[in-house]
Amino acid sequence: MQKKAQVTPFILLGIIIVIVAAAAIYFFGDRLTQQPETPLDQSQLLPLQKQIEGCILASAEKTISILQKNAFYLQATPYTMQFGGADINYLLYPENSPNKLNALEAVQDAISQQLAADMKSCKLDQLKLKFKADKDAIAASTFIAENKIILTLNYPITVSKGSTQAELKEFSVSKESDLGVLYNTIHDVIEGELSGEFDQYNYMLEHPSSIIYKENLDFNTALFFITSGKEQDYILFAIKK
């Protein structure tokens, strides 16, 4: 009888342990078996950021090429001449306001508007990420400096992984370009021609980063070819007095 009395508490203790364990598994089983989630870090978002930046550069390069071809316009203006089978924009023409050079702010806006439109077709689906892109909130801005162009894009993209989320919103790309040098040079050429005759040789001595070629077609008409010391970018335009 004494041995049976000693065994009974151990049996009861075992039963209690089994009941407690079963209850823990029933109520907390999911928590016990769930692996802790790894939060999103910057390295996981890098492919998406690089893809966006690539689309920004592609859009900018396309628009800049068009602007160079049309002397800072996106297309031929009503004031053009034919030369070598191409339409060359007049940037000085004796009708209404003679100075036809597009304002720098308008040039920057043209790049920004085209960038915002192009980003809506930027392909992100090939990336192995779960994300939501707010295309309606896309906005872009452009700043043209002498030797570079700074492109800023607002494009809210929320990336999800399990219950964790991260947002990419502001993107900025700096592109090396002499577009600013070319614009400033052309501005000075137009101002010089409006006040008399522009002295290209003295100007190039004072501004070694600018190279100017002028061809007089007749007494009142001339072609200008403007490039930089790097000779990577150029602008061709005409003037008529």
User: Using one digit for the tens of pLDDT, what is the confidence trace for 132-152?
Assistant: 889 999 999 999 998 999 999
| Bridge partners for 168 per DSSP | 157
pTM score? 0.79
Does some domain include residue 35? no
| Bridge partners for 90 per DSSP | 238
Does some domain include residue 15? no
What is the largest distance, in Å, between two alpha-carbon atoms of the chain?
A: 133
Give the per-residue SS3 of 49-94.
HHHHHHHHHHHHHHHHHHHHHCCCCCCCCCCEEEECCEEEEEEECC
Share of the chain above pLDDT 70, in %: 80
The answer to whether residues 119 and 155 touch, using CB atoms and an 8 Å cutoff, is yes
**148-161/164-176 β-pairing:** antiparallel
Residue 47 reports pLDDT greater than 80: yes
Instruction: Count other Cβ atoms within 10 Å, centred on residue 204.
Output: 15
Q: What is the pLDDT of residues 201-211, one digit of tens each?
A: 999 999 999 99
| pLDDT (mean) for 105-131 | 89
Residue 126 reports pLDDT greater than 70: no
At residue 32, the pLDDT reads 47
At residue 159, the pLDDT reads 84
Name every residue whose Cβ is closer than 8 Å to that of residue 65 and which is 6 or more positions away in sequence.
none
More confident residue, 63 or 165: 63
Does some domain include residue 180? yes
Q: Whole-angstrom Cα distance, residue 135 to residue 120? A: 6
| pLDDT (mean) for 43-58 | 88
Does some domain include residue 31? no
pLDDT tier, 13 (very low <50, low <70, confident <90, very high otherwise)? low
Does some domain include residue 2? no
Q: Write the DSSP string, 129-164.
A: -EEEE-GGG-EEEEEE-SSEEEEEEEEEEEEEETTE
pLDDT tier, 6 (very low <50, low <70, confident <90, very high otherwise)? low
Burial 35-65 (b: 16+ CB within 10 A, else e): eeeeebeeeebeebeeebeebbeebbeebbe
At residue 31, the pLDDT reads 52
The answer to whether residues 212 and 204 touch, using CB atoms and an 8 Å cutoff, is yes
Does some domain include residue 235? yes
Mean pLDDT of the chain: 86
Share of the chain above pLDDT 90, in %: 60
- Number of structural domains in the chain: 1
pLDDT tier, 237 (very low <50, low <70, confident <90, very high otherwise)? very high
Does some domain include residue 223? yes
- Look up the domain containing 198 and give its range: 42-240
Q: What is the pLDDT of residues 72-99, one digit of tens each?
A: 999 999 999 999 888 999 999 998 889 9
Q: At what angle do helices 104-119 and 42-69 cross, to 10 degrees?
A: 130
Q: For residue 154, give the amino acid letter.
A: N
Q: Whole-angstrom Cα distance, residue 186 to residue 72? A: 10
Q: What is the pLDDT of residues 167-178, one digit of tens each?
A: 888 999 999 999
More confident residue, 185 or 24: 185
Does some domain include residue 17? no
